[in-house]
Amino acid sequence: MSHAVGNKHPVDQMLPVGRLAVLGLQHVLVMYAGCVAVPLIVGGALKLDATTIAILVNADLFVAGVITIIQSLGVGRILGVRLPVVAGATFAALNPMILIGAKYGLPAVYGAFLAAGVFGLLVARPFAKIIHLFPPLVTGTVITVIGLSLIDAGAGLIAGTNEDAPGYGALDKLALAAAIILLIILVNRFARGFLASLSVLIGLIFGVIVAALMGLVDFSGVGEASWFGLARPFYFGPPEFQAAAIVSMCTVMLIIYVESTADMLAVGEAVGRRPSENDIARGLAADGLSGILAGVFNSFLDTAFAQNVGLVQVTRVRSRFVVTAAGVILVLLGLIPKLGEIIAAVPGPVIGAAALVMFATVTAVGIRSLRRVEFDGTNNLLIIAVSIGVGMIPVVAPAFYTRMPDELEIIFGSSITTTVIVVFLLNLLFNGWSRPTPDTTPPAPDSPAPVSPAPTSPAPTDGTAQADPVPDAPSAAETPEPAGTPAATEPPAKP
């Protein structure tokens, strides 16, 4: 990892504009497929026409960009975690949206979003105050399952989602994805400095070039797309407020908060700045704001995107202003459909190969968080085993809960939701509600947890980290702690 220069933490270091743009574009390319998947799936399930789906995609990108900018830059003391957190449409709201839309119509969906957004803003700070109930045992398990559950989506982008389709699992697509993954690995192994931080983007560019030679790239949609495409507010009519829909979306908002909390803690660990209770509260409030913006601009509830957490881990770029650049690009994509069509033309196997690396990295981040859990003399191994086992059921057996009532299927049909509920309740059952005794050692302002410096070349001073691996020496962020003690609520140790 890179090190702070003077009193400025690497998270707060401004990079040259050129690097910001390139690294920001890399973040966008990594999250784009996942971000637009939600409006595409919802539009298909509700039988919306292509024009309407395009409006949903544009609104989705626009709101995701706004929330990403807010998360990275912050708005006073009320919004934004001020970490390199990329926001995007959450899959946790997918099933509820489809069920509500089919029963009540889209105005009821966006009315529920508005209500859930207000609810989210109201409970953001109280939720952050119970962060001690989400120790590494809980967050590590949730992050692990988030990554595992998304691997299916990455594989679907590569091979296809319809096993009966003639081109499913075509060897040329599998070979293309394998070559991209191999290139990402080789760049990380042999490149240095800024070039190493672009490993995923290099893999994507290589993939697009090869895919074009294979005839897999189609830019025909670029010419047909309009230059300005943001839909007017309340495009589907005045919002409607149905009680069942509101309760469902408010529940989803709490699930989003758990997911975002886990991702913010993972980002904080990756960049060497542990988010405080206030930081978490501001980050969650930004998620709540996404509900209000979604209700007005026909978009979707946003959460911190796990694949971008993985990208921070892979590239070791800690500057939050890189994510600000990604947010600006997302806003432009939302406002200018022609730009969005260019990104959308990147073939599935290319995006899927990069996504597979990112999703697997998220899983590895979760496993690393579980290293801090105490296993001797506790039931924590059982808690993790049951939580992952139950949580993965919707991934490996999607029809498992179809005979349940709709309300229960909405909850248990999501692997992330199920894991959060199970690991949270089991942790309370075995480890209790008590808040750990706070550490009275005064924290050093903006100081990262100590890490052993790499023995080769000095670290850059622009917020990127050196490519040479940092020895895995014990640090304050990695020392084992009791299962009920959350790393996120302790002040950072002085270096």
> Digits of tens for pLDDT over the chain (495 positions)?
444 455 778 778 888 888 888 888 888 877 776 677 778 767 766 777 767 777 888 888 999 999 999 999 988 888 988 998 899 888 777 767 877 888 788 999 999 999 999 999 999 999 988 878 888 898 889 888 878 887 877 787 788 767 777 778 788 889 989 998 899 888 888 877 667 767 777 888 888 888 888 888 776 666 666 777 676 788 888 999 988 788 878 888 888 888 788 888 888 888 888 888 899 999 999 999 999 999 999 899 998 887 777 778 777 788 889 999 999 999 988 887 776 666 666 777 887 887 788 778 778 878 888 988 999 889 999 999 999 999 899 888 888 888 887 667 766 777 877 888 899 899 999 988 765 544 434 444 433 333 333 334 444 444 555 433 333 333 333 333 444 444 443 333 333
pLDDT at 417: 76
| Residues belonging to the chain | 495
**Which residues face 161 on adjacent strands?**
none
- CB-neighbour burial class of residue 458 (10 A; exposed 0-12, middle 13-18, buried 19+): exposed
pLDDT at 50: 67
- 392: Cβ–Cβ under 8 A, 6 or more apart, which residues? 145, 148, 149, 415
- 197: Cβ–Cβ under 8 A, 6 or more apart, which residues? 23, 315, 316, 317, 464, 465, 467
- CB-neighbour burial class of residue 6 (10 A; exposed 0-12, middle 13-18, buried 19+): exposed
Taking CA atoms, 215 is separated from 173, 212, 363, 489, in Å, by 11, 5, 33, 52
- CB-neighbour burial class of residue 352 (10 A; exposed 0-12, middle 13-18, buried 19+): buried
Query: Residues 79, 286: contact at Cβ < 8 Å?
Result: yes
pLDDT at 448: 38
Q: Is 88 helix (H, G, I), strand (E, B) or coil?
A: strand
Nearest to 417 by CA among 101, 162, 93: 93
- 390: Cβ–Cβ under 8 A, 6 or more apart, which residues? 418, 419, 422
Nearest to 319 by CA among 61, 11, 64: 11
Place of tokens 């919802």: 42
